[in-house]
Amino acid sequence: MNHTKGGLVIFTANSHPSSRELGKRIAERLGVELGKVQVYQEANKETRVQIQESVRGKDVFIIQTVSKDVNTTIMEMLIMVYACRTSCARSITGVLPYFPYSKQCKMRKRGSIVSKLIASMMCKAGLTHLITMDLHQKEIQGFFNIPVDNLRASPFLLQYIQEEIPDYRNAVIVAKSPASAKRAQSFAERLRLGIAVIHGEAQDAESDQVDGRHSPPTAKTTGAIHPSMEIPLLIPKEKPPITVVGDVGGRIAIIVDDIIDDVDSFVAAAETLKERGAYKIFVMATHGLLSSDAPRFIEESAIDEVVVTNTIPHELQKLQCPKIKTVDISLILSEAIRRIHNGESMSYLFRNIGVDD
């Protein structure tokens, strides 16, 4: 049954077969067929897009999941958006469950804010609306000059905990670092559970010595600075020994985060929790990038189960590691598309969501 008004077209790109699979699930829920489009790479690796049906005056939704070749993923999206724009589509909404380069959303040393660049490119190509999920930093929405709906996967993960972990009442929600404490607190308050925070884990090393801005002047020059003006130096950080704030002894530990990519920190957190008496360890995350040897490390670790959503394809990783489980989020994406196309309010999808969620 078609749950939308006329004039809706849903396209999927060619980045990964799972992108088309997610698109099919969304289309089935909406009662429409996927649009006809041909996306391929030529011999010289240039991306070519051929829209094979009319989109004039229609609302176009382009679903794109991020594959291992993230740069090709972005180019496919940009070219598809521009092709629909030049074909006179009424509106073009990008559905990117995981926003690429979202980790590069802050200025670090002499780097750049790549998320801002990607946002500018998408807007320039002709995107009029963006649907995404659990941005790494919510402030990324401010990089766009178009509406952005940052959906949440937490209701689906909370439902998984309640339905698939029989003894979840004996669980404690764990933040593997103080930075993820707010997310852990949100889960704990909704499940009426306790919270624990791991403090003192290894952080990304960013040596100040290699950055010229932190270097002292080579020689003191007279008259450059007033003798009485001594600039105070910031005391360098010293990493404390790993401690767990909260009781996990005899409990199920559920580590929550937004992205699981390099699993070293999760494996270290699991070992620490085991040493403190946790008898079962789950990891919950929205985006399962699971790069490199992540499946092997998970399989060999103290982690009992890793639960991620299908915002990013990870079928190969699931074959390598049976501990990885998937939660389907196509329902909320299809409802968001339906509401945007029909001009209905989106507030229903954000009910009971606070500023820190």
Tokens encoding 326: 């998937």
Cα 240 vs. chain centroid, distance in angstroms? 29
Residues 130 and 194 in one domain: no
Residues 111 and 146 in one domain: yes
Residues 147 and 271 in one domain: no
Is residue 231 in a domain? Answer: no
Is residue 317 in a domain? Answer: yes
Is residue 3 in a domain? Answer: no
Residues 163 and 49 in one domain: no
Residues 162 and 255 in one domain: yes
Give residue for tokens 């496919």. 76
Residues 26 and 77 in one domain: yes
Is residue 165 in a domain? Answer: yes
Total domain count, the chain: 2
Tell me how many degrees the CA angle 347-97-137 measures, rounded to the nearest 5. 75
- Which residues touch 178 (CB under 8 Å, ≥6 apart)? 197, 199
Domain range for 140 is 8-151
Residues 49 and 128 in one domain: yes
Neighbours of 309 (CB within 10 A): 25
Tell me how many degrees the CA angle 346-348-351 measures, rounded to the nearest 5. 120
Is residue 87 in a domain? Answer: yes
Residues 167 and 311 in one domain: yes
- Which residues touch 239 (CB under 8 Å, ≥6 apart)? 200, 202, 203
CATH number at 116 reads 3.40.50.2020
Is residue 25 in a domain? Answer: yes
What is the distance between the alpha carbons of residues 97 and 120, in angstroms, rounded to a whole number? 18
- Classify each residue of 296-308 as buried b or exposed e, where b means 16 or more C-beta atoms within 10 Å of its C-beta: ebbeebbbbbbbb
What is the distance between the alpha carbons of residues 23 and 285, in angstroms, rounded to a whole number? 22
Instruction: Answer with the one of 127, 151, 175 that is the final residue of a domain.
Output: 151
- Which residues touch 313 (CB under 8 Å, ≥6 apart)? 16, 17, 18, 19, 65, 67
Residues 20 and 135 in one domain: yes
pLDDT score for 206: 47
Residues 70 and 178 in one domain: no
pLDDT score for 283: 97
Tokens encoding 221: 């020059």
- Which residues touch 306 (CB under 8 Å, ≥6 apart)? 260, 282, 283, 285, 288, 298, 321, 323, 324, 325
In the chain, the amino acid numbered 254 is I
What is the distance between the alpha carbons of residues 96 and 311, in angstroms, rounded to a whole number? 8
Residues 196 and 308 in one domain: yes
pLDDT score for 113: 94
Is residue 334 in a domain? Answer: no
Residues 18 and 85 in one domain: yes
- Which residues touch 165 (CB under 8 Å, ≥6 apart)? 171, 252, 254, 282
What is the distance between the alpha carbons of residues 269 and 290, in angstroms, rounded to a whole number? 16
Is residue 217 in a domain? Answer: no
Q: Residues for the chain: how many in total?
A: 357
Mean pLDDT by 10 residues, the chain (357 residues): 76 78 93 93 91 96 90 94 96 96 89 95 97 94 96 95 95 94 94 94 47 52 59 81 91 96 93 95 96 93 96 91 96 96 93 76
- Classify each residue of 272-284 as buried b or exposed e, where b means 16 or more C-beta atoms within 10 Å of its C-beta: bbbebebebbbbb
